[in-house]
A and B are shown apart, each in its own frame.
Chain A
Amino acid sequence: MSDNALPPSPARPTVKRRGARISLIWLVPIVAGLIGLSMAVHDWMNVGPKITITFRTAEGLEANKTQVKYKNVVIGTVTAISLSDDRTHVLTTVELNNSAAPFTRKDSHYWVVRPRIGAHGITGIDTLLSGAFIAADAGSNEETTDRFAGLETPPPVSFGEKGKRFILHTDDLGSLDIGSPIYYRRIQVGQVVSYHLAKEGKGVDVEIFINSPNDQYITTDTRFWNASGVDVTIGAAGLKIDTQSLTSIISGGIAFREPNYSPNSKAADANAEFTIFDDQATALAPPDGDARYIRMRFDQSLRGLVVGAPVDFLGVNIGKVVSVDLDYDTKTQTFPGIIGAVIYPKRLGAANDKLEQIGGKGDPDEISARILGGFVEHGLRAQIRNGNLLTGQLYIAMDFDPKAPRVAFNPKLRPLEIPTIPGSFDKLQEQLQTFVDKLSKLPIDQVANNLNGSLVELQKTMKQVNGDVLPQMRGTLQQVQKTLATANESLGEDSAPRQQLSQTMDEVQRTARSVRVLTDYLGRHPEALIRGRTGDAAPGSYKAAPSSREINLEPEQ
């Protein structure tokens, strides 16, 4: 104590005293509290709406683990999964983030993303490892709700995508499905969004979505046609297979285009309505306009005439058969066929315009009755003709036949009835029938009997010939052969007569030569006949005319 005693200091060092009663150290818990509080507040603020989504199955979903994502951004988590009261579906409680408020709009969609293999490819492959998640798509409705029905398949069009929706009418859905592609010049520009039966179940309304900017190509004159499957046509140019894409073969598709000439078309409004045609050709054909229903009565078999068979007018297809029925004629006790058909006057083109002018004013039915009446007067007749000899398909041809017997035309009758004449094939059949009838009238039996007798006679003669004539013939022939052999012998090269003949011929030749010399000599010296031969005019001095054969002069006599 004494050794290390401090030197006595005059003034004791001042002792530091803290002035503040409350230590600054308390700032530490205050700051901690503030941080904790701020986090609590932040959490509380971030707690978004709680919604319940119903699904058919909770496959792949897990409470507190499965996330709800929108564009792959987590917007919430599944907090509980339970069965509904009636145990038909699963209730999934989801806590959304505060920022996910738009996802409580009434038309928001929720669906479970799982690996899916479809005609449009494979989706959700990443969920194989990570497990399923719930995908969300916000709606646009102002009203909100906390109960949603989860979709089983992803919606084809997500909210906010630019484009237009249109409604297409069709008789039946065919192979179309939600997500089926829409093609424009074979480029996919949209897809089928939904479909439902039209009112009263007559047809199907298909809702499609065309993505922007391709929606501008839909005009008021655009034609849609079913591009599903493969279109195989065998024509003069050979086999032609036409299809839009592989996808459309499997899952169907719709294609559209506007006719090459459509001057008055404007861009179509959203939700405009169109019709789906069966194929491109019918789709792009000029509009048929109003149909007129006509009726025809045929007294012949209607086998091969089907509903849909074409109706030709001078070779132009103007309509089709819509009904094939039988009638009963009590007078003749026959069953005439009644053919109902629709014709599209507009298909006549310019002719129709002129006819309408001629037809005058009034009810369109009346006008057409008037026009048709005039035609019938001039010999307009319907006829069933054979379109294809192989398949036996028939069509109805309307032609002018001036020779046709006059028929009364009733313009008041509805539907209008067109008089008919038997078909060309029918005529041929008739002619064939008469020919066969005539053939059957021939006395074939009698002829055959006569022929039979003659044949017996012939057989007898032949027997005689064989027995008597032939052996004699053989003897004669042998005789002839002998004679010929003798002749051959006598005419041989070394035979005596031949030698003699040769000598004789030489003699004759010589004689002829001397005669010629004599005649020549006499020609020059006719006086020799009287005077005899003079010495100077020896035949040796004569020079014969040039000849192919050299003349051997006779030795002087």
Chain B
Amino acid sequence: MNGIPFAHEHDVCLCHTCGYVCPAGTSTCPRCEAPVHARKPNSIARTWAFLIAGLIFYIPANLMPVMFTTLFGSSSQNTIMSGVLEFIEGGSWDIALLIFIASVVVPCLKFVVLGTLLVTVQRRSTWAMRERARLYRFIELIGYWSMLDVLVVALVAALVQFRELSTIEPRIGILFFGLVVVMTMFAAMSFDPRLIWDAEVEDV
């Protein structure tokens, strides 16, 4: 477009690890021996796979209790949403908002964004490519913040162990939630943002 040739026009590709320009078609970088590929292999399929897996895990993560609290003998199990609602009822809007963002908004955002990216890439859409690229970077950035929930539960369960007085134990829901975060992060990792721009070029 601006006259600078594409790598594939010269039959070369870039090693992602050391930045070495390798001849196209090599499987490993001659310099650092890292695997070399023009695009992340099978990127779309992998991203789809991880995304779907994450979506599937998201269902039990929300339905199953994440935390089991015993306070003075009265025990209760909380799912993510019931915890949020409890905080709202208790008047702690800020904490409720924080948990809601970390455990509901962010994963959902990731699903939506990754889904959109994948669909647009597959349809070779040239719509708002720069924004999509920015969106992708944003997703990659906020991805691990979803682990906040998992960390909170892990921390609280480890700290609040006063035997009869009060105990907090993690429940299976949090495992699924952790899996959701991991799956979405994998999905984000396997997505190759260069695919966004491939729509400009016909033959890739």
Chain A residues within CB distance 8 Å of chain B: 1, 4, 6, 12-16, 18, 23, 25-26, 28-29, 31-33, 35-36, 39, 65, 126-127, 129-131
Contacts and interface: CB of A to CB of B under 8 A. Distances in A.
A36 B56 contact: yes
A31 B179 CA distance: 12
A486 to B, nearest CB: 123
Nearest to B50: A28
A126 B73 contact: yes
19 contacts: A4-B21, A13-B28, A15-B26, A23-B45, A23-B46, A25-B45, A28-B49, A28-B183, A29-B50, A29-B52, A29-B53, A29-B56, A35-B57, A35-B60, A65-B76, A127-B73, A129-B74, A130-B75, A131-B73
A487 to B, nearest CB: 121
Contacts of A65: 74, 76
Contacts of B92: none
A12 B26 CA distance: 8
- Shortest 6 CB-CB distances between A and B: which pairs? A130-B73, A32-B53, A29-B52, A129-B73, A29-B53, A32-B56
B59 A12 contact: no
Contacts of A12: 25
Nearest to B187: A28
B23 interface: yes
Contacts of A23: 42, 45-46, 49
Nearest to B21: A4
A130 B72 contact: yes
B122 interface: no
Contacts of A33: 53, 56
Interface residues of B, number: 30
Contact of B27 (A6, A13, A36, A129): A13
Interface in B16-36: 20-21, 23, 25-28, 30
B123 interface: no
Contacts of B64: 39
Nearest to A13: B26
Interface in B68-82: 72-76
Contacts, number: 70
B56 to A, nearest CB: 4
A127 B72 CA distance: 10
A4 B57 CA distance: 48
A33 B54 CA distance: 10
B145 to A, nearest CB: 22
A396 B175 CA distance: 90
Contacts of A36: 56-57, 59-60
A126 B73 CA distance: 8
Nearest to A67: B75
A228 to B, nearest CB: 37
Nearest to A6: B23
A15 B21 contact: no
Nearest to A65: B76
Nearest to A33: B56
A147 B68 CA distance: 30
Contact of A129 (B25, B28, B72): B72
Contacts of B50: 25, 28-29
B19 to A, nearest CB: 12
Contacts of A35: 56-57, 60
Contacts of B53: 28-29, 31-33
Contacts of A4: 20-21
A35 B6 CA distance: 44
B183 A16 contact: no
A68 B45 CA distance: 48
Contacts of B179: 32
B128 to A, nearest CB: 28
A23 B46 CA distance: 8
A1 B22 CA distance: 10
Most chain-B CB neighbours within 10 Å: which of A16, A25, A26, A32? A32
B20 to A, nearest CB: 8
A25 B56 contact: no
Given A26-B49, A29-B56, A36-B57, 15 more contacts: A4-B20, A15-B25, A16-B27, A18-B41, A18-B42, A23-B49, A25-B42, A26-B45, A29-B49, A29-B52, A31-B53, A35-B56, A36-B56, A130-B73, A130-B75
B141 to A, nearest CB: 23
Contacts of A15: 25-27
A4 B20 CA distance: 10
